[in-house]
A and B are shown apart, each in its own frame.
Chain A
Amino acid sequence: MKVLVYRTSAVLLVIVVGVLLSSLLLFAGERSKGPLEDLAATVTSDVARFEKQLVGGDQRNSRAASLRWFNQYRTHKALLNAPDTILVGAYDNNTAQSYEHIVALEESLQVKLPIMQLYTAWGSKKDQGFPMLRAQAIQDLGSIPMITWEPWLDDFDRKEFTTKQPANRVNEGGLKAIATGRYDAYIDKWAGAAKQFGAPFYLRFGHEMNDPYRYPWGPQNNDPADYIAAWRHVVSRFQKLGATNAVWIWSPHPAYHNYREFYPGHDYVDWIGVTTLNYGAVAPWSKWYSFDEIFGSSYAEFSQYGKPIIITEFGSLRVGGDRAGWFRQALTDVPVKYPAVKALVFYNNASDVTTTYKSLDWSFDADKKVLAAATQAMKTWRVQHSPIQRLLKEKLLVAAPRAGQPGLPRGGK
Chain B
Amino acid sequence: MWRNKANNADPLWQFRAAASPQTVHKLGLAVLVVAGCASILHLADWWFRAEHVASLPLFLVLTFIFWWGIIRMVVLWISYLRISKPAPKPAPAHKSVAIFTTSSPGEPLSMFEKTLAACARINYPHTTYLLDDTRDPRFREVAEQHGAVWLELVGLPGAKAGKINAALQRTDEEFILVLDPDHIPFPNFLDEVLGFFDDEQVGFVQVSQAYYNQYRSFTARGAAEQTYGFYGPTQMGMNGLNCAVAIGANCTFRRKALESIGGHGTGLAEDLVTAIRIHAAGWKSVYNPVVVSRGLVPEDLGSFCKQQLKWARGVHEVLFAEVPRLWGRLSFWQRLSYLTVGTYYVSGATMLLFLLIPYLFFWGGLQPANMDFVEFVLNWLPVGVFGVLIYLYVQRWLCHPEEERGLHWRGMFLKFACWPVFFLGFVLSLWNGKIPYIPTAKLADGHFTWFAWPLLAHQFLFISTLLYVVVDRTYYTPEARLALSSADVWGMMAFAGIAFLMTSGGLFAAYQSSKLTPKEPWAAVPLPTAGHPASNQPLAA
Where the two chains meet, the residues of A that have a C-beta atom closer than 8 Å to any C-beta of B are 10, 13-15, 17-23, 25-26, 29-30, 32-33, 36-37, 40, 44, 47-49, 51-52, 54-55, 57, 62-63, 95-100, 102-103, 126, 133-134, 136-137, 140-141
Please name 24 pairs of A and B residues whose Cβ atoms are closer than 8 Å in the assembled complex, sorted by A: A14-B34, A15-B34, A17-B35, A18-B37, A29-B382, A32-B378, A33-B378, A36-B378, A44-B487, A47-B486, A47-B487, A48-B486, A51-B490, A55-B470, A95-B484, A98-B480, A98-B485, A99-B481, A99-B484, A100-B478, A100-B481, A103-B478, A137-B482, A137-B483
- Point out the residues of chain B lying under 8 angstroms from A103, CB to CB: 478, 480
In the complex, which residue of chain B has the Cβ closest to the Cβ of A54? B474
Which residue of the partner chain, among B39, B473, B480, contacts A22 with CB atoms under 8 Å?
B39
Say yes or no: B38 contacts A97, CB within 8 Å: no
User: Chain B nearest CB: distance from A298 CB in Å?
Assistant: 35
| Chain B contacts for A54, CB-based, 8 A | 474
Chain A positions within 8 Å of B435 at CB level? none
Closest to A63 in B: B479
Q: A55-B473, A141-B479 are in contact. Are A44 and B484 (CB under 8 A)?
A: no
The answer to whether residues A21 and B480 also contact, given A26-B42, A26-B382, A29-B381 and a CB cut-off of 8 A, is no
> Which residue numbers of B lie inside 8 Å of A, CB to CB?
27, 30-39, 42, 372-375, 377-379, 381-382, 385-386, 470, 473-475, 478-487, 490
Known: A25-B39, A51-B473. A98 touches B484 (CB 8 A): yes
Bound-complex Cα distance A18 to B375 (A): 23
Residues of B within 8 A of A49 (CB): 483
State the Cβ distance, A150 to closest chain B Cβ, in Å.
21
Assuming A14-B31, A22-B42, is B374 touching A126 (CB within 8 A)?
Answer: yes
A-B residue pairs, 6 tightest by C-beta:
A18-B34, A98-B481, A137-B483, A22-B38, A99-B480, A48-B486
User: In the complex, which of the residues B33, B42, B479 has the most CB atoms of chain A within 10 Å of its own CB atom?
Assistant: B479
Q: How far is the CA of A211 from the CA of B215 in the complex (A)?
A: 78
Whether B378 contacts A100 by the Cβ 8 Å rule is: no
Contact of B475 among A29, A57, A97 (CB under 8 A): A57
Q: How long is the Cα–Cα vector from A13 to B26 in the complex, in angstroms?
A: 13
Residues of A within 8 A of B42 (CB): 22, 26
In the bound complex, residues from chain B placing their C-beta under 8 Å from that of A99 are 480-481, 484
Give the CA-CA distance A40 to B480 in the complex, in Å: 22
List the A residue with the shortest CB-CB distance to B473: A55
Residues A17 and B39 in contact in the complex (CB < 8 Å), given A51-B482, A96-B484, A136-B483: no
Q: Which residues of B contact A102 (CB under 8 A)?
A: 480
Partner of B35, one of A21, A33, A95, A100: A21
List of A residues within 8 angstroms of B487 by Cβ: 44, 47-48, 133
Beta-carbon contact of B490 and A18 below 8 Å: no
Query: How far apart are the CA atoms of A62 and B482 in the complex, in Å?
Result: 12
- A13, A18, A32, A55: which contacts B482 (Cβ < 8 A)? A55
B377, A36: Cβ atoms under 8 Å?
yes
Looking at the assembled complex, report how far the CB atom of A39 sits from the nearest CB atom of chain B, in whole angstroms: 8
CA distance A40 to B478 in the complex (A): 24
Which one of B374, B382, B474 lies within 8 Å of A33 (CB-CB)?
B374
Smallest distance from the beta carbon of B373 to chain A beta carbons, Å? 6
Contact across chains for A18 and B32 when beta carbons are under 8 A apart: yes
Q: Which residues of A lie under 8 Å from residue B27 when comparing CB positions?
A: 10, 13-14
Give complex CA distance A51, B483 in Å. Answer: 8
- Say yes or no: A40 contacts B481, CB within 8 Å: no
A104 and chain B: residue at smallest CB distance: B480
Chain B residues positioned under 8 Å from A95 (CB to CB): 484
Q: Is the interface of B mostly helix, strand, loop or mixed?
A: helix
Minimum Cβ distance to chain B for residue A403 (Å): 10
Whether the pair B33, A18 counts as a contact (CB closer than 8 A) is yes
A29-B38 in contact (CB<8A): no
A30 to B38: give the CA distance in the assembly, Å.
Answer: 16
Residue in B closest to A11 when the chains form the complex, CB atoms: B30
Given A21-B35, A22-B39: A52 and B378 interface contact (C-beta under 8 Å)? no
Known: A23-B38, A51-B473, A55-B473. 20 other contacts (CB 8 A): A17-B31, A18-B32, A18-B35, A18-B37, A21-B32, A25-B386, A29-B381, A33-B378, A44-B486, A44-B487, A48-B484, A51-B490, A57-B474, A57-B475, A63-B479, A97-B485, A98-B480, A103-B480, A133-B483, A140-B479
Residues of B within 8 A of A44 (CB): 486-487
Given A18-B32, A19-B38, the answer on whether A97 and B381 have CB atoms closer than 8 Å is no
CA distance A48 to B473 in the complex (A): 12
Please, which residues of chain B bring their CB within 8 A of the CB of A32?
A: 378
- B372 partner residues in chain A, CB cutoff 8 A: 126
Given the complex, which residues of A lie within 8 Å of B490, measured CB to CB? 47, 51
- Complex CA gap A274/B302 in Å reads 74
CA distance A44 to B491 in the complex (A): 9
Chain B: CB-nearest residue to A98: B481
B381 touches A21 (CB 8 A): no
CB nearest to B372 among chain A residues: A126
How far does the alpha carbon of A54 sit from the alpha carbon of B473 in the complex, in Å?
10
Instruction: Report the minimal beta-carbon distance from A293 to chain B, rounded to whole angstroms.
Output: 36
Question: Which residues of the other chain, B, contact A29 by a CB distance below 8 angstroms?
Answer: 378-379, 381-382
Q: Who on chain A is nearest to B23 by CB?
A: A10
Q: Is the CB of A48 within 8 A of B479?
A: no
Residues A19 and B373 in contact in the complex (CB < 8 Å), given A48-B486, A55-B482, A97-B485: no
Asked whether A22 and B35 contact (CB < 8 A) given A97-B485, A133-B484, the answer is: yes
For A96, list chain B residues within 8 Å (CB): 484
A57 to B482, CA, bound (A): 12
Collect the chain B residues with CB atoms within 8 Å of residue A33's CB. Answer: 374-375, 378
Partner of B486 from the list A20, A51, A100 (CB cut-off 8 Å) is A51
Known A-B contacts A19-B34, A22-B35, A57-B474; A97 and B382 likewise in contact (beta carbons under 8 Å): no
Contacts of A133 in B (CB 8 A): 483-484, 487
Residues of A within 8 A of B482 (CB): 48, 51-52, 55, 137
Of B36, B374, B379, B479, which one neighbours A62 at CB under 8 angstroms? Answer: B479
Q: In the complex, A57 Cα to B490 Cα: how many Å?
A: 18
**Contacts of A10 on B, CB cut-off 8 Å?**
27
Residue of B whose beta carbon sits closest to that of A44: B487
CB of B383, distance to nearest CB on chain A (Å): 9
Contacts of B31 in A (CB 8 A): 14, 17-18, 21
Tell me the bound Cα distance from A47 to B34 in angstroms.
40
Bound-complex Cα distance A126 to B372 (A)? 10
Minimum C-beta distance from A100 to chain B (A):
5
Q: With A29-B382, A98-B478 given, is the CB distance from A48 to B483 under 8 Å?
A: yes
Q: What separation, in Å, do the CA atoms of A56 and B27 have in the docked complex?
A: 59
Q: Which residue of B lies closest to A29 (CB)?
A: B378
Which residues of chain A are within 8 angstroms of B378 by Cβ–Cβ distance? 29-30, 32-33, 36
Interfacial chain A residues near B480, Cβ < 8 Å: 63, 98-100, 102-103, 141
Residues of chain B within 8 A (CB-CB) of A55 are: 470, 473-474, 482
Report chain A residues within 8 Å CB of B35.
17-22, 25
**Cα of A311 to Cα of B211 in the assembled complex, Å:** 80
Cβ of A66 to closest chain B Cβ, rounded Å: 11
Which of A15, A22, A62, A126 makes the CB contact (< 8 A) with B386? A22
CB distance from B495 to the nearest CB of A (A): 14
* Cα A52 to Cα B470 with chains together (Å): 12
The residue in chain B whose Cβ has the minimal distance to the Cβ of A136 is: B483
| Cross-chain contact B385 with A25 (CB below 8 angstroms) | yes
Point out the residues of chain A lying under 8 angstroms from B484, CB to CB: 48, 95-99, 133-134, 137
Complex alpha-carbon distance, A57 and B372, angstroms? 31
Contact A40 B486 (CB under 8 A): no
Residues from chain A with a CB closer than 8 A to the CB of B375 are: 33
Q: Give the CA-CA distance A276 to B483 in the complex, in Å.
A: 31
What is the distance, in angstroms, from A34's C-beta to the closest C-beta of chain B? 10
